[in-house]
């Protein structure tokens, strides 16, 4: 049975990544994840880079700047995905990343306590993205990995932002506020969005929808069951900001 449009399926929680849980035993394969939707984001075993899912294709963005289409058996310790079906399309100005959150809040004022799934397409004056290096040892925490993240900036690039705006109550479960990944039209560059800006005097296309259902599956591993997870709110903001 196919999931309903815009139902978010999330595997594991962001606090697990903050606590360093990204092993094979606490992961699921991409093939299982893709049964739940066509549009999403996440990371990989050992937190090896960033994931973006667009039109049912999953991409892996490595810290060295390379990109590959994921194989069905690649393992995923954290991700969210949905059968995205936008309920609204509009043209917007985008002077910075903060404006992304402001625009979504203004467009969906009734969704303060819901998840909002969105896609933004257009030509961007500047995009600053990052990718995480894989764990150097088992259990290495996301906050430590973020300190050595690979950051790159690009100008005059056409591409797509895949994003989710998560409500305040989801702290520790998801990334509160806007969590967004980017890929260019040529599928040559991509990663987690740190900063973004549309071309001066131009607008980009925002498509979005409120998700009426959030389904969470937790890892069934011994390490997840026994681990005291870190609710590191400031660390999540720093790592995912």
As a whole number of angstroms, the distance between CA 172 and CA 140 comes to 18
> According to the model, what pLDDT value does residue 241 have?
65
Residues ≥6 apart with Cβ < 8 Å to 127? 153, 154, 157, 159, 182, 193, 195, 196, 197
Determine which of 85-94, 106-115, 225-234 has the lowest per-residue pLDDT on average. 225-234
What value does the mean pLDDT take over residues 91-116? 96
Percent of the chain with pLDDT over 90: 93
Counting DSSP H helices and E strands in the chain, the numbers are 6, 15
As a whole number of angstroms, the distance between CA 63 and CA 194 comes to 14
Look over the chain and give the mean of its residue pLDDT values, rounded to a whole number.
Answer: 95
- Segment 186-202, tens digit of pLDDT: 999 999 999 999 988 89
Tell me which residue of 13, 23, 25, 8 sits closest to 162, measured CA to CA: 8
pTM of the model: 0.96
Quick check: 2 pLDDT over 90?
no
**Pairing of the two strands 88-92 and 67-69:** unpaired
**Strands, E assignment, 7-100:** 8-11, 28-29, 39-43, 50-54, 57-61, 67-69, 75-76, 78-82, 88-92
Quick check: 1 pLDDT over 80?
no
Q: Give the model's confidence band at 234: pLDDT under 50 very low, under 70 low, under 90 confident, else very high.
A: confident
CA dist list (Å): 198 to 48, 108, 154, 185: 29, 21, 12, 15
- Segment 124-166, tens digit of pLDDT: 999 999 999 999 999 999 999 999 999 999 999 999 999 999 9
Query: In sequence order, what are the beta bridge partners of 140?
Result: none
- Segment 16-41, tens digit of pLDDT: 999 999 999 999 999 999 999 999 99
Residue 109: Cβ-neighbour burial (10 angstroms; 0-12, 13-18, 19+): exposed
């Amino acid at each position: 049975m196919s999931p309903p449009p815009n139902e978010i399926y999330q595997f594991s929680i962001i606090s697990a990544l903050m606590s360093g849980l990204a092993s094979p035993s606490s992961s699921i394969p991409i093939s299982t994840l893709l049964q739940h939707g066509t549009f999403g984001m996440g990371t990989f075993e050992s937190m090896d880079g960033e994931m973006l899912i667009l039109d049912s294709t999953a991409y892996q963005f490595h810290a060295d700047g390379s990109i590959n289409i994921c194989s069905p058996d690649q393992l995923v310790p954290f991700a969210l995905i949905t059968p995205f079906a936008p309920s609204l399309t509009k043209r917007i100005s985008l002077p910075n990343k903060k404006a992304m959150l402001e625009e979504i809040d203004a467009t969906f004022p009734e969704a303060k306590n819901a998840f909002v799934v969105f896609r933004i397409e257009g030509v961007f004056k500047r995009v600053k993205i990052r990718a995480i290096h894989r764990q150097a040892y088992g259990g290495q925490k996301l906050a430590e990995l973020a300190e050595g993240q690979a950051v790159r900036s690009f100008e005059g690039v056409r591409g797509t932002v895949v994003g989710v705006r998560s409500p305040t109550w989801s702290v520790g479960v998801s990334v509160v506020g806007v969590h967004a990944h980017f890929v260019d039209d040529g599928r040559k560059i991509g990663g987690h969005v740190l900063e973004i800006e549309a071309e001066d005097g131009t607008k980009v296309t925002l498509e979005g929808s409120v998700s009426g259902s959030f389904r969470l599956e937790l890892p069934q591993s011994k390490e997840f069951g026994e681990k005291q997870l870190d609710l590191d709110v400031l660390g999540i903001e720093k790592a995912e900001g």
